[in-house]
Amino acid sequence: MTIALPAACAAAFALALLSAVAGFGGGVLLLPVFTALFGLRFAVPMLTLTQLSSNGSRVWLNRRDLHWRLIGWFALGAVPFALAGGLLLAHAPLAPLQRALGVFLIGVVIWRRLNPHPRKPSDHAFAGVGTASGLGSALLGSVGPLTAPFFLAYGLARAAYIGTEAAAALTMHLTKLTAYGAGDLLTTKILLYGAALTPATLVGAWTGKKVVDHISDRVFVHLVEAGLIAAGTLFLIGL
C-alpha cells in the first residue's frame, strides 16, 4: 500500500486535470487504475470520494456560470436512482451494461458528426438524463460521458458546461456515498485514502481550469468528443 498511495495520488491529479478540461473522463479512466491497485470493491467507493472533491472543486471554480435549473431537474432523476444503484452494487451484472454504454457513447459522436446542430433538449429532459446517470454511476463507478452529449446539445460550453455538469454529478456522488455507507462499503481505510487523494485532486482541477480559460469553444467541443470516443472504447473492451 505504500507504493499504491503515491501512484493513486499521481493518477488522481492527472485525471482531475482531464475532468476539468473536458468536463468528464477522470472517473472513467481512474476506475481501472484504482481497481488494479486496490480491487474493485475498494475502488468504486474510493473513486466516489475522489469524484466528490473533483466535482466540488469544479463547481467552485466555475460557480458564476452554473445553470441551476438544469441541475435541479437532473437531481430529480439522479438522486433516487443513484441510491437504488448503490444498494444494488453487490448483485448487478455489470459487464453487459458497461458494453452497452460504450456503444452508446461512440454512437453519439458519430451522430453529432452527421447532425452538427441537434435539437436543444428541454430543461425537464434532464430528469431522464439524471435517472440514467444516477443508476449507471452507482453501478459502474462513473458514467460522466453519458451526460456530455445532452449538456452540449443544450448549448453549454467551457465554464458553463464544466461547472453545471460537475454540480449535477455532485448530487449523484453524495447520494451514492449514502448508499455505500448503508451497505457497509465505506470502511475506515477507504475514507482515509479518499482524504489522502483530495489535495492532488484539487490541484489537478485548478490546473485544468487554467487550461480551459485559454482554449476556444470549438476546440473544447472537439476535446469532449475525443473523450467520448476514448471512454466508449474503454467501456467496450471492459476496462
Mapped onto helix, strand or coil, the DSSP state of residue 63 is: helix
- List, for residues 184-219, the tens digit of each pLDDT value: 667 788 888 878 888 888 888 788 778 777 777 677
Contact assessment for residue 83 and residue 175, using Cβ atoms and an 8 Å cutoff: yes
Cell numbers at 232, concatenated: 466508449
Q: What is the mean pLDDT of residues 58-71?
A: 90
Cell numbers at 140, concatenated: 459502474
| Model pTM above 0.85 | no
User: What is the domain range of residue 61?
Assistant: 3-237
Model confidence at 239: pLDDT above 60: no
Domains: count for the chain: 1
pLDDT at position 74, please? 93
Looking at the chain, the whole-number percentage of residues with pLDDT higher than 70 is 76
